[in-house]
C-alpha cells in the first residue's frame, strides 16, 4: 500500500520523506489555509515547493465548481509540475472535468467521495485516484471501512484501474484496516504514520537488549 501524507506543511512532508516511506502528498483548500498560504501566486508556488520535497504525486485541488472553471484551473495546476494531480470534487461538472483531463493524459483525484455509486462514476470517468473520506463517514456513525470494501469489490469486478486513495484517515488503526481491505493508498496525517512505529514491547525489548549488551 502506498502512503501519502495529507498536509500542506512542508516540515511534515520533509519528515515523512526522510523516513523513506512517503509515496505522495495530498492537499486541499482547508489544509492550505491552515498553513496560512494565501493568494494565487503563493498557492501555486507552494505546490511547486511540495513537489520539490517529495518524489511522488501531489494532489492540488481546484476551487471552481463549473466545468470551464475546473478545466482552466486544472490546466494551470498541471503545468506547474509533471507530478501534480488535479483534485476535483465529486459533482456533475467534476465528473465531466475528470473525463476531460483523462483524455488529455492529466492525472486526477476525485475527492469528497462518500458512496460506492460516486466511486463508480469516478472510475468510469477515468480518475487516477478516488478519495473516499473514511473518518468523516465514521463521524456520522457510518463505518467508513464498509465504503472501502464496497469500492474494492466493484473496482475488482470490472478491473477498473482507478486507485482507491483512502482519505480522512485519523489514526493508525484506520491505516491497518485500509491495508487489510486492499486500499491502494492511504493519505494520512504524519501523526498516524509515526504512530505505526510504536509498541511498548518493542521499547521494553530494546531496553533489555541494550542493558544486556553492557554485561
Ligand atoms: O484527505 C481528506 C482530509 O484532508 C480530510 O480529513 O480529518 O478533515 O476529515 P478530515
Domains belonging to the chain, first-starting first, are 2-214 (3.20.20.70)
If pLDDT is split at 50, 70 and 90, which confidence band does 210 have?
very high
Please give the average per-residue pLDDT across 184-194, as a whole number.
97
- The pTM assigned to this predicted structure is 0.96
For 15-62, the pLDDT digits (tens) are: 999 999 999 999 999 999 999 999 999 999 999 999 999 999 999 999
User: What stretch of H or E contains 42?
Assistant: helix 40-53
Q: Is 123 in contact with 90 (CB distance < 8 Å)?
A: no
For 136-158, the pLDDT digits (tens) are: 999 999 999 999 999 999 999 99
| 124 in catalytic set | no
pLDDT of residue 104: 98
Give the distance between the most distant pair of CA atoms in the chain: 72
Catalytic residue among 87, 96, 124, 180: 87
Residue 160 DSSP SS3: coil
Mean pLDDT score of the chain, rounded to an integer?
98
Q: Is 183 in contact with 1 (CB distance < 8 Å)?
A: yes
Find the residues whose C-beta lies inside 6 A of ligand 1: 6, 26, 28, 31, 133, 135-136, 167-168, 170, 187
Please give the average per-residue pLDDT across 185-192, as a whole number.
97
For 82-121, the pLDDT digits (tens) are: 999 999 999 999 999 999 999 999 999 999 999 999 999 9
All residues at 6 or more sequence positions from 124 whose CB lies less than 8 Å from its CB, including other chains: 160
Substitution candidate for ligand 1 out of 60, 112, 135 with most atoms within 8 A of CB: 135
Amino acid at each position: 500500500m502506498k502512503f501519502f501524507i495529507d498536509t500542506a506543511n512542508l516540515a511534515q512532508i520533509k519528515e515523512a520523506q526522510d523516513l523513506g516511506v512517503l509515496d505522495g502528498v495530498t492537499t486541499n483548500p482547508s489544509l492550505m489555509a491552515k498553513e496560512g498560504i494565501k493568494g494565487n501566486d503563493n498557492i501555486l508556488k507552494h505546490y511547486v515547493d511540495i513537489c520539490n520535497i517529495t518524489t511522488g504525486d501531489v494532489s492540488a485541488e481546484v476551487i471552481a465548481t463549473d466545468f470551464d472553471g475546473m478545466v482552466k484551473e486544472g490546466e494551470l495546476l498541471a503545468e506547474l509540475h509533471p507530478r501534480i494531480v488535479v483534485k476535483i470534487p465529486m459533482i456533475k461538472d467534476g465528473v465531466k472535468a475528470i473525463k476531460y483531463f483523462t483524455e488529455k493524459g492529466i492525472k486526477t483525484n476525485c475527492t469528497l467521495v462518500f458512496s460506492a455509486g460516486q466511486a463508480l462514476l469516478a472510475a468510469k470517468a477515468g480518475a487516477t485516484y478516488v478519495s473516499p473520506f473514511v473518518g468523516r463517514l465514521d463521524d456520522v456513525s457510518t463505518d467508513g471501512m464498509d465504503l472501502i470494501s464496497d469500492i474494492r469489490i466493484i473496482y475488482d469486478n470490472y478491473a477498473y484501474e482507478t486507485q482507491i486513495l483512502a482519505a480522512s484517515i485519523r489514526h493508525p488503526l484506520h491505516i491497518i484496516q485500509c491495508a487489510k481491505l486492499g486500499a491502494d493508498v492511504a493519505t494520512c496525517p504524519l501523526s498516524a504514520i509515526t504512530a505505526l512505529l510504536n509498541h511498548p514491547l518493542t521499547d521494553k525489548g530494546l531496553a533489555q537488549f541494550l542493558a544486556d549488551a553492557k554485561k
